[in-house]
Amino acid sequence: MARTALGIGVRELAELAKVSPDTIARLERGEVLKERTIEDIKGALEAGGVIFLDEGSTTDGGPGVRLKG
């Protein structure tokens, strides 16, 4: 969801996060990744303007993402 909100593809996010495109695909399939890898991907998304919302930060109460205003 965050990647598509930025309008970037798997390869572009992989390049920004310095991981392989397969790693992005594994993340999007819900596979377990190393914490450091997740932080690298999260950092790349945040640098692109994504804000991660904790549980309880939205009206529905669940976690989510939004773009910086």
| 6-15 residue pLDDT tens | 999 999 999 9
Q: How do the domains of the chain map onto residue ranges?
A: 2-67
| Digit-coded pLDDT (tens) for 36-46 | 999 999 999 99
User: Burial, 46: exposed, middle or buried (Cβ in 10 Å; 0-12, 13-18, 19+)?
Assistant: middle
Position 59 scores a pLDDT of: 59
* List of residues 6+ apart from 45 with CB closer than 8 A: 2, 3, 6, 13, 52, 65
| Greater model confidence, 62 or 31 | 31
DSSP class per residue in 4-57: HHHT--HHHHHHHHTS-HHHHHHHHTT----HHHHHHHHHHHHHTTEEEEPTTS
CATH class, domain 2-67, is: mainly alpha
pLDDT score recorded for residue 58:
58
